[in-house]
């Protein structure tokens, strides 16, 4: 006799984790998934490019969630320290420090105390623009609205 009987709707990460934990607790679990595959928004396309899996959904483990790290370890998955912004790292405006506390403190301290390290990063050219986008947007809006009010005055 199971401890309980549960229907889980949706076989995404949340539904699968719930089904797993309920199953471990001795419950009888049925998972109902609307699609013809499990995974929800985690979806790896295996056949699109030969020998290169293409991720159409989640692929990054943000931070150090023990629950996710446990699953990755149990599945023998190799996690790598990467960034979604490789252009910044290439340009020298960003640096990958990972999630190790000591490394974060060491890297931040170096930037705060070493004028050379600070200048190297501060003077690197950002591939994401010069930080003045909002100023330009404000100028463009001002120009547009001023032009409109001039037109309105002209035809009033």
Ligand X SMILES: Cc1cc2nc3c(=O)[nH]c(=O)nc-3n(C[C@H](O)[C@H](O)[C@H](O)COP(=O)(O)OP(=O)(O)OC[C@H]3O[C@@H](n4cnc5c(N)ncnc54)[C@H](O)[C@@H]3O)c2cc1C
- List residues near ligand X by CB under 6 A: 9-15, 32-35, 40-42, 57-60, 62
CA distance 48 to 56: 11
Q: Which residue, among 58, 56, 55, has the nearest Cα to 14 in the 3D structure? A: 58
3-class state of residue 82 by DSSP: coil
Q: Which residues pair with 55 in a beta bridge?
A: 44
Considering the complex, state which of residue 84 and residue 102 has its C-beta at the smaller distance from ligand X. 84
Closest distance to ligand X from the beta carbon of 47 (Å): 19
Closest distance to ligand X from the beta carbon of 131 (Å): 26
Considering the complex, state which of residue 42 and residue 124 has its C-beta at the smaller distance from ligand X. 42
Burial of 71 (0-12, 13-18, 19+ CB in 10 A): middle
Question: Token pair for residue 25?
Answer: 């607790």
Considering the complex, state which of residue 36 and residue 113 has its C-beta at the smaller distance from ligand X. 36
Considering the complex, state which of residue 4 and residue 32 has its C-beta at the smaller distance from ligand X. 32
Burial of 8 (0-12, 13-18, 19+ CB in 10 A): buried
Closest distance to ligand X from the beta carbon of 10 (Å): 2
Considering the complex, state which of residue 41 and residue 153 has its C-beta at the smaller distance from ligand X. 41
CA distance 58 to 52: 16
Closest distance to ligand X from the beta carbon of 69 (Å): 13
Closest distance to ligand X from the beta carbon of 70 (Å): 15
Question: Token pair for residue 99?
Answer: 């999630």
């Amino acid at each position: 006799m199971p401890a309980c009987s549960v229907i889980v709707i949706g076989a995404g990460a949340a539904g699968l984790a719930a089904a797993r934990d309920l199953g471990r607790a001795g419950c009888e679990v049925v998972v109902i998934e609307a699609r013809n595959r499990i995974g929800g928004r985690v979806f790896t396309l295996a056949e699109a490019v030969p020998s290169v899996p293409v991720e159409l959904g989640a692929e990054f483990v943000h931070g150090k969630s023990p629950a996710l790290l446990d699953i990755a370890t149990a599945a023998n998955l190799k996690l790598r320290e990467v960034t979604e912004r490789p252009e910044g790292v290439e340009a020298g405006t960003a640096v990958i420090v990972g999630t190790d506390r000591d490394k974060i403190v060491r890297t931040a301290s170096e930037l705060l105390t070493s004028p050379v390290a600070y200048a190297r990063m501060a003077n690197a050219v950002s591939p994401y623009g010069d930080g003045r986008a909002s100023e330009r947007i404000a100028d463009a809006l001002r120009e547009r609205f001023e032009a409109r009010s001039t037109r309105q005055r002209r035809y009033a």
